[in-house]
Structures are given as C-alpha cells and as structure tokens.
Amino acid sequence: MALSNKFKKDNLNKKILSNLPKGYLEDYIKLFLIQNADGTYSAKPVSIGTDAINQMEKKYREIIKTQYPKSRTEGEFLKGIRIRDINSAILKDLKSNNSIVNSKTDT
C-alpha cells in the first residue's frame, strides 16, 4: 500500500524539525511572528522575497546544505530542502500545538 502525500509531508516535517540548525527557531520567531500576551503567536505579514526571508537564507543557506545533505528520494534524505520548507514545517507544528492564532495582537 502506497503512502499518502500527507503522510510523507508530515514525516518530512518531523525529520526537519528534529534537526533544526542551532538558533533557527529563535530567528524564525523573531522575524516572522509576534508574541501575544497569552504566550501564543500571530504571524507577521511577510511575503516571499522580503528582507526577513533573505536574512534567513543568507544566514542558514550553507548550514542547511550540510545539515540536510541528502535527497527526498528513497534512500537519500532531504536534498534540496529550502528555507521555506523549514519555515513551513515550523509554522505547521506551531499551528498544530495551537501556538499560532490568526488575529493580530494589540500593540
């Protein structure tokens, strides 16, 4: 029986999250999220190509190439992982833990 795409993506995300580069999660939170008073987060409005994404790519591109040296094909794990793949895995994990809310915070 073939594995579903959702199962494969969930498995990939777990592997990515279990091997994040040091400081990556903290930088992600600082650049992409706003912490609410209740400890949850709201997403900052960020689009592809913005300075926040460029900062992450500049800082972590080479680290990611060595930390995830193999491919997604069977027998070759995680080749071609991009910043947005890691960011997506983090965001999905935070949402699944109800740590992300959709409303903006009061400032």
CA nearest neighbour of 93 among 10, 3, 5, 8: 10
pLDDT on residue 92 = 93
- What pTM did the predictor assign? 0.75
| Residue 107 domain flag | no
Bridge partners, 34 (sequence order): 42
In a domain? residue 12: no
Instruction: Classify residue 30: in a domain, yes or no.
Output: yes
- pLDDT on residue 63: 87
Residue 6 lies in a domain: no
- Position 78 scores a pLDDT of 54
CB distance 26 to 51 below 8 Å: no
pLDDT at 23: 95
Indicate the number of domains in the chain: 1
Asked if residue 83 is part of any domain, the answer here is yes
Looking at the domain assignment, is residue 15 inside a domain?
Answer: no
Q: What pLDDT, in 10s, does the model give residues 2-37?
A: 678 888 888 888 988 998 999 999 999 999 899 899
Mean pLDDT, rounded, for 80-98: 88
Q: How far is residue 61's CA from residue 47's CA, in Å, rounded to a whole number?
A: 18
Q: What are phi and psi of 32, to 5 degrees?
A: -115, -10
Residue 4 is assigned to a structural domain of this protein: no
Parent domain of 67: 23-101
